[in-house]
Structure 1
Amino acid sequence: MKPFRTLALLAALTLPAFAADEVTIFNGTDLTGWEGNKDLWSVQDGTITGITPPDPANPEKGIIKHNTFLVWKAGKVSDFELTFQYRIEKGNSGVQYRSKELAPGEFGPIITGYQADFEAGDKYSGILYEERGRGILALRGEKTTIKPGADGKKPVVEKAGTTGDSAAIQASIKKEDWNEYKIVAKGNHVQHFINGMQTIDVTDEDAANAPKEGLLALQIHQGPPMKVQFKNFKLVPLK
């Protein structure tokens, strides 16, 4: 057999093994496996769509009074790589990972844990934020190490370098159009990427508070009326 044919055969044999490791989290048709406020979350044109409706008494403000989430209930994540595409009109959103569910609020599930943040504005897309936890752990373009705080208080966020120019990363993000986000989490090391550009790199040494396993969830944020959409999820556990 010719060498190039042998290589092609080996490549063909390895592809199914890789594909078998992928976990389907969205079927492209309905919200099977997901749980949230169905007045706010739906499937439109093959995308998971979340909205913050306007308040009838004040149309400039959204009707929801707390951040709420669509939670993937079919499994949990620990070490993994997740890619997806998102589009947002106004407001703020993100993907929760290694997260926990708290008591539900008036408008649906409430979540705490790591968040891969993004927004319609220019400041927060790509950052690592811990919802209802330790707050911002890395701004866009930052490489940080998280240390335990004294006496269990607020952690120390040490800057350890950069992942790139924050303004250049923001300039690559398309307004009200589709962007690709990637999250890589392995052990206490997490990384975010938007449109192929690394946005953060965090080593979380605050062992008592660093989440190691938990839920995936999608966010709609309190604030102005907004719309966010997600599609083309690809979740691969890391061994």
Structure 2
Amino acid sequence: MKDFRDLKYLFILAIISFTACGQKKTSDTNQEEKVDGFVSIFDGKSLNGWEGDPDIWRVEDGFLIGELTPESDLKSNTFLIWTGGKPGDFELKVDFKITENGNSGINYRSERLDDVPFALRGYQADIDGKNTYTGQNYEERKRTTLAYRGQQTKINPQDPPGEIRDFVERNAWRGLELTKELGDRDSLKNIIKAEDWNHMHLVIKGNVLKHYVNGVLMSEVIDEDPINRSFGGHLGFQVHVGPPMQVAFKNIFIKEK
């Protein structure tokens, strides 16, 4: 009986030790997030703090989901817009997953349009299901492509000044100047997992805009266009007009500087 009691005692000690380790690990993680300055902006349960079309956006299984169904009648790109502020210099960390035919993105430093419901105009970290564009910098409703995946670019101003669309050619800004190759576009694509979870990290400071996917720098823009660049504005997730699709987001953290 003594041996049995000893074994039972050791088993209880092991459970207590394991629980304590787990609690310490959780505590350390929370402390690390606090020290790093990142704050969660999605509670995993509701759309509190966000505003968008309820026919497109929902929370399910702890994920933020945007979906187009065969019955959806979406006329223009729509966004789920964060109502917690208009970040200027910041870092954003978020996990995303998108279906093969999906087209989405993360807008930041953007204007909200008055004449189109839940529409944003501004910088976007592109996301698409075929990973043709994921990671590039595309400016929604403005200068279009500012940097393709694998590029560091300098964005030069309009010369002479005029209508924005006069300076767009083949869906890219004519003032896009390639300053450095960050890597082969197709090789970088292989880092992005199709129809699986990926991690996006945006580092936005001054006129330098960096998009990382799965820890790798995919594009970098140095915006030298004083007329069109932006230093603050709305943050939001996009569902693009198109075929049925679904995009999901989780673990959404921001650190403002």
TM class by shorter chain equals 0.7 to 0.9
**Where do residues 154-193 of structure 1 align in structure 2 (5 Å cutoff)?**
154=167, 156-193=175-212
Contact 1:127 1:200 in 2 (8 A): yes
Structure 1 residues 165, 75: CA separation in 2 closer, same or farther (over 3 Å shift)? same
- Aligned with 1:229 (options 227, 235, 248): 248
Partner Cα separation in structure 2 for residue 195 and residue 94 of structure 1: 16
What is the CA distance between 1:115 and its match in structure 2?
Answer: 0.3
Equivalence for 2:222: 203
Contact 1:53-1:64 at 8 Å conserved across structures: no
Question: How far 1:168 moved relative to its partner?
Answer: 1.2
Equivalent-residue separation in structure 2 for 1:93 and 1:25 (angstroms): 19
Deviation at 1:152, TM superposition (A): 1.8
Q: CA deviation at 1:103?
A: 2.0
Q: Distance in 2 between matches of 1:96 and 1:17?
A: 25
The equivalent residue for 2:113 is 102
CA RMSD of aligned residues (A): 1.8
Q: 1:16 to 1:200 in 2, by over 3 A?
A: closer
Could you say which residue in structure 2 is the equivalent of 1:114?
Answer: 123
Distance, in Å, in 1 between the alignment partners of 2:51 and 2:249 is 15
The alpha-carbon deviation at position 197 of structure 1 amounts to: 1.3
SS at match of 2:40: coil
- 1:40 and 1:81 map into 2 onto residues whose CA distance is 26
Letter in 2 for 1:46: G
Structure richer in strand, relative to its length: 1
Partner SS, residue 41 of structure 2:
coil
Give the number of the structure whose residues are more often helix, by fraction. 2
Q: TM-score, normalised by structure 1?
A: 0.86
Unmatched 5+ stretches in structure 2: 1-27, 168-173
**What one-letter code is carried by the residue in structure 1 that aligns with 2:137?**
L
Instruction: After the TM superposition, list the runs of 4 or more consecutive aligned residues in structure 1 that deviate by more than 6 angstroms.
Output: none
Distance 1:95 1:34 in 2: 14
What is the TM-score normalised by the length of structure 2?
0.80
Identity %: 41
Look up the match of 1:48: 64
Alignment of 1:138 onto 2:147: yes
User: Structure 1 residues 160 and 16, CA, compared in 2 at 3 Å: closer, same or farther?
Assistant: closer
